Amino acid sequence: MVNIIWIIFIICGIIFGFVTNNMTVVNNTIMESATKSLDMIIKIFPVLALWMGLMNIASKSKLLDKLSKLLSPILTKLFPEIPKNHESLSLIASNIIANMFGLGSAATPFGLKAMESLQKLNKKKDTATRSMITFLVINTSGVTIVPTTIISMRLMHGSNEPTKIVLACLISTVCSTIGGIIVDRFLARRYKN
Binders of another protein in range 141-160 (CB under 8 A): 141-142, 144, 147, 149-150, 153-154, 157-160
Closest separation between CB of residue 109 and another protein, Å?
8
- DSSP calls for 141-193: H---SS-HHHHHHHHHTT-S-GGGGHHHHHHHHHHHHHHHHHHHHHHHHHHH-
Q: Provide the mask over 101-140, with x wherever binding to another protein is found by CB under 8 A and - wherever it is not.
A: --x--x-xx-xx--xx-xx----xxxxx---xx--xx-xx
CB proximity list for 130: less than 8 A, separation 6 or greater: 81, 188
* Least spacing, CB of residue 102 vs another protein, in Å: 8
Measure the CA–CA gap between 165 and 127, rounded to whole angstroms.
Answer: 39
* CB of 47 vs another protein, minimal distance in Å: 9
**To the nearest whole angstrom, how small is the minimum distance from the Cβ of residue 116 to another protein?**
6
Report 48-77 residues binding another protein (CB under 8 A).
48-50, 52-58, 60-63
What one-letter code names the amino acid at 148? Answer: T
Is the Cβ–Cβ distance between 171 and 154 less than 8 Å? Answer: no
How many residues touch another protein under the rule CB under 8 A: the total is: 96
- Cβ distance to another protein smaller for residue 75 or 98: 98
d(CA 188, CA 125): 18
Q: Are 26 and 13 in contact (CB under 8 A)?
A: yes
CA–CA gap between residue 43 and residue 50 (Å, rounded): 12
Contacting another protein (CB under 8 A), which of 38, 74, 80, 85?
Answer: 38
In the complex, what is the shortest distance from the CB of residue 72 to another protein, in angstroms, rounded to a whole number?
Answer: 19
Single residue of 73, 76, 168, 192 touching another protein by CB under 8 A = 168
